[in-house]
Amino acid sequence: MSKEDSLFNLSRRDLLKSLAGLPIVGTVWFAGAKTTVDAKHEKKYLLEKLNIKAAPPPPTGPMDGAPIRIGIIGFGIRGEQLCRAIGYATNEWEEAMKEAAAKNPNDTRYKEFKEQENLNIKITAVCDVFDYNAERVLKSFSSADNQVKRFATHKELVNSGTVDAVIIATPDHWHAPMAIDALNAGVHVYIEKPMTHNISETYALRDAVLQTGKVLQVGHQHRQTQSFLTAQDIIAKQILGHVSLVTTNTNRNDDNGAWQYDIHETASPQTIDWDQFLGSAPKVPFNKEHFFRWRKWWAYGSGLSGDLLTHDYDRLNCILKMGIPRSVMASGGIYTHRDGRNVPDVLQVNMEYPDFSTGSSQPAGKEKGMTFVYSATLGNQFDRPTYLMGHDGTMELGNTVSIYADARSTRFADMIKEGRIDPYTPIYQYNPSANATDAVTSATAKYFANKGLLWTYRDGKRVDPTFLHMREWLSCIRNGGKPSCGIQEGFEEAISAHMAGLSYKIGRRIEWDPESEKIIARPGEDLDAILIANEEKVIV
């Protein structure tokens, strides 16, 4: 080997072979960098085009001043959850959560409860017709400086002068009468959904709120869920184009989901004020099942249309602001839980909005009108997402939001042609939990989480939307302002749900007259009586 041919004492050939790794490194590096950077640019380009804001709303006002005195009316499953959301947990719950956290360090429910902001409230009064429930409140929520007082009736409670506000979490047939009495006594109201149990009381409650000027918030806590706020922005920017169809669903397949709640061992005519529970409902002898599983009968509850359709309806009403449908057709039956209930466990509801539009990318006048479909079964829990289907795109909605461009979209036609948009890959995804993890425990909990009912996020931190919803209510009481699910939203929710219930029961299309603000009845028809009639379907 001559000196000229070598460097490092290697032949030129060997030298090249030794150095061959360098260009390979350069090539791989360049390819990796280019792929990633190009994808980033594409993403940025799309995001700028779409210009969707996922910013959280400004926080509600300060919780200063004298503590707000709160009375809890109905301390069952939901009443207990609502109290916890404002910082009052029962001793039993705290013990159970401490134990769960000791067993599983990832179970942060107790820690999160303890870290929750103090809302500067005092639970001062309780009214529950079941002794066990009322006593749990007295035992757990009383302290040296705050002895919780039990009242035998809601009327005594709201007129006692011991409360500024009440939380109503009773069976549906008591919602409106209690809320109206509270408002007339000058007491603010947080009321569980459905807002009312029949049509006439829906108007009466609206009048009471408007006349008294007190703050009423309906318990649709998902209005606080950030993915829904993001979805509102997507609609406002007309990214989906004209939405002609919305499909929402309930799928549950467990006893709890079918309202087969536990019957407490201490329940008896001695521990339950049965007459007061019945209220306006037909007089029937003491019945534990009716008491604990009241959602299964029209006399006290409203089945899928009142309990679960209302969630989906309000979720969409919060995004689309579509209001009361012009007409509703519903059908279904008791097909999976033939246990003596008279509310359906399979229900399909079609709500028509012939004049509604989310905007159009096509010639004026071509697109108008929308159908809202609610499809539910309590006999299967396959997760069906909510879809908002527009000419330009589809939104898949849960705690996350995904947008797909439609292959035949007008708005995105050029970008699809240029290959910048693939109709089968989301053009936008909002996942507030990307940097956090959920430990949802049961199928029903997962279902709620997916619906945006369980958790939402603020600054990357998991927050219970019920807490935010109740905080907003308290802030409106303290600082003024309008709650996000006030009487107008509640009115629309209740009327729409009642139309669905009526259509199921009567078996025909139920129409709404927006001029007179009335559900159209046929001569001689008493819609309220039909709606709450407690027998099997009246007419099929």
Partner 1 sequence: MKTNLYSSGQNTSLVLLRLFIGWHFLYEGIIKVYNPSWTSKGYLLSASFLKPFFGWLASDSMVGIVDTLNIVGLIAVGLGLLLGLKIRWAAVGGMLLLGLYYLAHPPFGGMEQGPVEGSYWIVNKNLIEIGALAVLYQFPVYTALSLENLFSKKKAETIAS
By the criterion CB under 8 A, which residues form the site for partner 1?
8-11, 14-15, 17-22, 24-25, 28-29, 31-33, 35-37, 39-40, 106, 435, 437
CA atoms within 13 A on the CB side of 144: 0
**CA atoms of 132 and 237, how far apart (whole Å):** 52
Rank residues 1 and 236 by Cβ distance to partner 1 and give the closer one.
1
CB of 400 to partner 1, least distance (A): 14
Q: What is the DSSP string of 325-352?
A: -SEEEEEEE--S--SS--S-SEEEEEEE
Other CB atoms within 10 Å distance of the CB of residue 338: 9
CB of 12 to partner 1, least distance (A): 12
Note whether 325 and 496 are within 8 A (CB): yes
CB of 461 to partner 1, least distance (A): 12
CB of 11 to partner 1, least distance (A): 7
Q: Quick one: which H or E segment has residue 70?
A: strand 68-73
**CA atoms of 348 and 214, how far apart (whole Å):** 36
**CA atoms of 73 and 157, how far apart (whole Å):** 9
Q: Which residue type is seen at 446?
A: K
**CA atoms of 330 and 501, how far apart (whole Å):** 8
The residues, ordered by sequence, that sit 6+ positions from 301 with a Cβ below 8 Å of its Cβ are 171, 172, 173, 259, 294, 295, 307, 343
Note whether 420 and 38 are within 8 A (CB): no
CB of 24 to partner 1, least distance (A): 6
Rank residues 34 and 321 by Cβ distance to partner 1 and give the closer one.
34
Rank residues 28 and 284 by Cβ distance to partner 1 and give the closer one.
28
Rank residues 398 and 501 by Cβ distance to partner 1 and give the closer one.
398
Quick check: helix, strand or coil at residue 192?
coil
The residues, ordered by sequence, that sit 6+ positions from 126 with a Cβ below 8 Å of its Cβ are 71, 72, 73, 75, 134, 137, 138, 141, 148, 149, 150, 151, 157
The separation between the first and the last C-alpha atoms of the chain, rounded to the nearest angstrom, is 103
**CA atoms of 466 and 145, how far apart (whole Å):** 27
Alpha helix (H) ranges present in 321-457? 413-417, 443-450
Rank residues 29 and 45 by Cβ distance to partner 1 and give the closer one.
29
Rank residues 20 and 152 by Cβ distance to partner 1 and give the closer one.
20
Rank residues 39 and 138 by Cβ distance to partner 1 and give the closer one.
39
**CA atoms of 13 and 372, how far apart (whole Å):** 74
Tokens (6 digits) for 504? 């199921």
CB of 29 to partner 1, least distance (A): 5
CB of 15 to partner 1, least distance (A): 8
Quick check: helix, strand or coil at residue 465?
helix
Rank residues 37 and 102 by Cβ distance to partner 1 and give the closer one.
37
Rank residues 94 and 112 by Cβ distance to partner 1 and give the closer one.
112
Say what the alpha-carbon torsion angle 348, 354, 359, 364 is, to the nearest 10 degrees: 140
Note whether 367 and 245 are within 8 A (CB): no
CB of 14 to partner 1, least distance (A): 5
Matching residue, tokens 């606080």: 224
Note whether 198 and 221 are within 8 A (CB): no
Rank residues 19 and 407 by Cβ distance to partner 1 and give the closer one.
19
CB of 20 to partner 1, least distance (A): 5
CB of 401 to partner 1, least distance (A): 18
CB of 438 to partner 1, least distance (A): 10
- Quick one: DSSP state of residue 295? G
CB of 39 to partner 1, least distance (A): 8
Tokens (6 digits) for 523? 């001569």
Matching residue, tokens 């079964």: 377
Which among 184, 316, 325 has a CA at the least distance from the CA of 246?
A: 316
Q: Determine the longest span between alpha carbons in the chain, in angstroms.
A: 116
- Helix (H) and strand (E) counts for the chain? 19, 18
